[in-house]
Amino acid sequence: MADRLRLVVFDVDGTLVDSKAHILQAMGTAFGRLGLETPPRDAILHGVGLSLPDLMAQLVPDQSLQVRHALYEGYKSASLAQHESAGEGHHAVFFPGIRELLDRLRGDDFTLLATATGMSRRGLDRIIAQHGLDGYFQSTQVADTHPSKPHPSMLHAALAETGVVPEDAVMIGDTSYDMLMAKAAGLHAIGVTWGNHPFEHLAAADLIVNTTDELSTALTHWIEDRT
């Protein structure tokens, strides 16, 4: 029987790239400009993966919509300024082994790649350009045009764009939002522990891995089951 198309969907922040320092700095700038106390580090990182409006609502539920909007815009402005002002020093870096994994998957004719991220289109395009990933992803879903995770809209769109059925697709992410989104869309879910949510928050995953070597092995087995 001929191979059928498979789809591997990646979250970005906390899964592919380590952007913690960048996120925390930009968040501190946004809150500081409004004279507000920056939320605790753990609270900020726990919300990574949500769309920015949902993240601000989670961080400062008692603030008005106007203040949340100002924080949202302030974060975007600070994030862009960081990238433009200091060049390579503010580039998000791949977690160890991720580039090699992406290269291997890209070399498989029957495996397609996609992203489903809480980042903006501009932010994702910047990551793709910085790391030379043009052409790697057949579908790039971002927060600009979808409800926030864990709503499955991004995964539905990725499946529609690639023509892959849910049972032949897997979502890889570092947060509970990624795992719940995958389950809502009928995808296999692999949680990674090197990102923003601790192990216990990944309980909805079908499998949890601690290293990129473990992830690579898991994906090899998953692909073999579909050939």
How many whole angstroms separate alpha carbon 68 and alpha carbon 55? 9
How many whole angstroms separate alpha carbon 225 and alpha carbon 32? 51
Query: What is the amino acid identity at position 7?
Result: L
Structure tokens at 70: 């100002």
- Could you say which DSSP state residue 13 is in? B
- Could you say which DSSP state residue 110 is in? T
Catalytic site residues?
A: 11, 13
Give the angle subtended at the CA of 11 by the CAs of 208 and 69, to the nearest 5°.
125
Element (H, E) at 6: strand 6-10
Helix 65-86 vs helix 121-130: crossing angle, to nearest 10: 20
Radius of gyration of the CA atoms of the chain, in A: 17
Contact 195, 175 (CB under 8 A): yes
